Amino acid sequence: MYFIKNFLVVSLAAGLAVSASVPTVLKRSPAAEVENGKYIVDRQAEFDNYASWTFQGNSLPEGLYASNYPISDGTRVFVPENAIVRNGYLDLLVNGGQTAMPYTCGEVVTVANNIRYASVRTVAILTEPAGVCNGMFFYESDAQETDIEWLSDANSLSNGGTRRLWLTNQDANQDGSSTSNTVSPPADATTAEHEYRLDWTEGRVRWFVDGVQVWETTEDVPSVPGPWVFNNWSNGDPGWSVGPPAVDAIFRIRSIEMYYNTA
Ligand SMILES: [Ca+2]
């Protein structure tokens, strides 16, 4: 990637007198193949439905809605005003400089609330300011969840000094432990768009970054239907999100593609 990108820059500089901008070399998952009305992903998963969201204008596209509810522990509240469509992005905002709980946060959820198995690809710029958790995940309950999360504070006790992308299945089998792994994010994850993908199929979850599989597991895989959620939040917990952020902290989503089945 690094080599290719720089080769391209050199080529453009040498070959073109005027270049308005240097195109970024994108690495994205291939689209599903369509066969007999089914969407086939990687020749191993089959889905009936496809949804694609981009963010033009100033309102949320059909199929997504903004959350408006407080978390029961009183630490934070999701407000529609913090799910902002502007400049071609969905900006999920945690306001900077908050001093009193509940901290205001932003979240959108799929109108489809009966998703069971999906390949979801989110192109986004993760949050730079410390003190939030960016989430892209399936959620039915605290025991039926598979997720991708970004903790923007390196000093979160979970991060332990190095910011990482968290990949987790919550404790579906109720043995007292979730199933989790971390990977290094792209080096420019907080300034450039990258694709974060989760493929949830029966008995297996696979995670991808920029079209490359980074992990998979067959442990604690959820099995019930529910919605997909995209959020940005802080509750001040030093063990996880830390925060709240000193300045406005924005999770910027460029697009979402979802191949999915319902149940
Ligand atoms: Ca478990």
Return phi, psi of residue 85, to 5°.
-95, 120
Distance from the CA of 55 to the center of ligand 1, in angstroms? 37
Residue identified by tokens 């694709």 is 195
Considering the entire predicted model, what is its pTM?
A: 0.90
pLDDT tens for the chain, 263 residues: list them: 333 433 333 334 433 444 455 555 569 999 999 999 999 999 999 999 999 999 999 999 999 999 999 999 999 999 999 999 999 999 999 999 999 999 999 999 999 999 999 999 999 999 999 999 999 999 999 999 999 999 999 999 999 999 999 999 999 999 999 999 999 999 999 999 999 999 999 999 999 999 999 999 999 999 999 999 999 999 999 999 999 999 999 999 999 999 999 99
Cα distance between residue 161 and residue 155, in whole Å: 5
Distance from the CA of 107 to the center of ligand 1, in angstroms? 27
Query: Residue 188: enclosing H or E segment and its boundaries?
Result: none
Distance from the CA of 198 to the center of ligand 1, in angstroms? 19
Distance from the CA of 144 to the center of ligand 1, in angstroms? 11
| Phi/psi-derived region of residue 111, left when phi > 0, alpha when psi is between -120 and 50, beta in every other case | alpha
Give the distance, in angstroms, between the CA of residue 217 and the centroid of all CA atoms in the same chain: 18
CA dist list (Å): 112 to 35, 190, 191, 260: 23, 29, 31, 10
